[in-house]
A and B are shown apart, each in its own frame.
Chain A
Amino acid sequence: MIERQSCSLSQARRLVRELRTPQREALPPPKLRSYVLFRVGLADGYLRFSSPIGPVFVALNTCGISALERAEDASSFEARFRATFGRAIFPLEHDEAPAWTRQIEAALQTGQAPNLPFDLRSCSPFEQAVLYKALMIPRGEVRPYAWVAREIGQPRAVRAVGNALARNPIPLLIPCHRVVRSDYRLGNYSLGGSFNKRALLQAEGVDLALLEQLASRGVRYLGSTTTHVYCFPTCPYARRIAPEHRRPLSSPAEATRLGYRPCQHCRPAPPSGQGPDFAR
């Protein structure tokens, strides 16, 4: 029954050529392109996390975290990202993301992001300096815009600092909400206005009522009559001063005149005490 016929070479060639027609099962997986672009840094992926102000999208690439936005609508987030950064973006699964992304969840809950990489390529060097300085403000503390300006060596650029923080592409993880006005009024907040800024700071343990009460009396700093060190009121060292040793101060100049030196933790003035009076 089995007929032994020979199969010529040209027949083999013809048969192989039948494989030229692509088959359905030979289609590349739809995510292949995204992964390639992600791996070479031409596309970002994003993950969804819960945060103190509700769910957020966190966009990231091989350089680090590039953006954070409140998660409302994935497609409009993707469109905004593409318009802002000019890169492709696609949803990542948690198990496909780099290992360091596992710290994001904790960083959002604790407000501390010690080892997370950030991709701030879209920001100017000035903006980057402002954002990295804001990153150093610990949870539970606030600093004035003027402090950030002085610390990055641009003491007159207070308004520019405000603009740079307003353009913070990674709010929450870069805690721009911890930067407030010199009179301790909160100032604006990009992620849902001052209402959210207030809620965030309260959740982090900042005593906003005390700050406002001090500010209404013109008090900007607290000194200790025992150590003769003065601090920003939210500094942990200021909070440890017993009420009877607490000396309200209105400016570094006043503090210096009364023989107080600036705290080395919260740096209300440069350590030398010779710096410009940035409280004006």
Chain B
Amino acid sequence: MPMSHVDEQTLLQDLLTDPDRFFEQVVLYYEQRLFTFALRLSGSYEEAQEITQDAFVRAYQALTTYSTEQVRNLALRSWLYQIVLNVARNRLRKRQRLPFCISLEEAGSDSAEEPASAPVEEGPEARAEARERLLLLERALLTLPLIYREVVILRHIEGLSYPELARLLNQPVGTVKARVHRGLAQLRQVLVDHHAREVLYD
């Protein structure tokens, strides 16, 4: 359920009157997005669960110390992404680059073993293929260093604007743009290197 900015404004208003009830709404509205973000960052369902939980708890703790003025000026969505990112960075650093080692070959090998001329049943076949593509993409994304992965995800999957991203990362817009560009270039290289033709050319 994507949330429009109108809802975000309503949420901020609610926060000023009843922080506790507001927070439950925040969790309700953002859990899907933040969890998906954490999942793309970490590549692990359990890790994403922990990251999202920790991030929400930190957000609540921070909110209880904020003044009315601070709350009113909060860019809620990117503020929450920022917290998730910080939690994820800390946790992933501890895990010592574990998710980066996932091999693309593994993902590719399954489909290669399937007979190329399998009987065509349009519906499920096409759906399985689409899933295969997404899985391969996810794995490719996980091979990027975190510094590139996070900006590619935030810009192109979560759809944050460059100014939003610059504020979130506390970096100049130019730097952020360059990172996104390099991230995409690396991703392309990963895909090309692994001859991931079925993903690249449909």
Instruction: Point out residues on A near B: beta carbons under 8 Å.
Output: 2-3, 5-9, 11-13, 15-20, 22-23, 25-29, 32-33, 35-37, 39-40, 42, 88
Contact = CB atoms under 8 A, between A and B. Distances in A.
B197 A12 contact: no
A33 B156 contact: no
B122 to A, nearest CB: 20
B88 interface: no
Nearest to A10: B184
Interface size, B (range): 35 or more
A37 B141 contact: no
B157 A5 contact: no
Contact of A20 (B32, B52, B57, B159): B159
B157 A6 contact: no
* B contacts with A: majority SS: helix
Given A15-B199, A18-B133, A32-B53, 7 more contacts: A2-B195, A16-B137, A16-B152, A16-B157, A25-B45, A27-B32, A33-B31
Interface stretch (B35-43, B67-75, B95-103): B35-43
B14 to A, nearest CB: 14
Interface in B160-189: 181, 184-185, 187-188
B36 A26 contact: yes
A2 B56 CA distance: 47
Nearest to B46: A29
CB-CB nearest 10 A-B residue pairs: A28-B35, A12-B188, A36-B56, A40-B60, A16-B156, A12-B184, A26-B36, A7-B188, A39-B57, A33-B27
Contacts of B82: none
A38 to B, nearest CB: 10
A101 B10 CA distance: 39
B156 A32 contact: no
B61 interface: yes
Given A7-B192, A12-B188, A33-B28, A19 B40 contact: yes
Interface string B12-26: 000000001001100
Given A20-B157, A26-B36, A36 B57 contact: yes
Contact of B31 (A3, A6, A11, A28): A28
Contacts, number: 99
Nearest to B133: A18
A6, A28, A35 — most chain B CB neighbours (10 Å): A28
B138 interface: yes
Contacts of B131: 23
Contacts of B92: none
A269 to B, nearest CB: 46
B134 interface: yes
A247 B143 CA distance: 87
B200 interface: yes
B78 interface: no
B36 A12 contact: no
A122 to B, nearest CB: 14
Contacts of B184: 9, 12-13, 16
A20 to B, nearest CB: 5
A28 B49 contact: yes
A27 B137 CA distance: 18
A9 B152 CA distance: 12
A37 B156 contact: no
Contacts of A22: 32, 36
Name, among B40, B134, B199, the residue most crowded by chain A CB atoms within 10 Å (CB to CB): B134
Given A19-B137, A28-B31, A28-B52, A37 B200 contact: no
A270 B131 CA distance: 78
Nearest to A14: B156
Nearest to B152: A16
Given A26-B36, A42-B24, A32 B52 contact: yes
B11 interface: no
B200 A9 contact: no
Interface string B107-118: 000000000000
A13 B141 CA distance: 12
Contacts of A27: 32, 35
Contacts of B35: 26-28, 32
Contacts of B56: 36, 40
B81 to A, nearest CB: 15
A11 B188 contact: yes
A19 B40 CA distance: 9
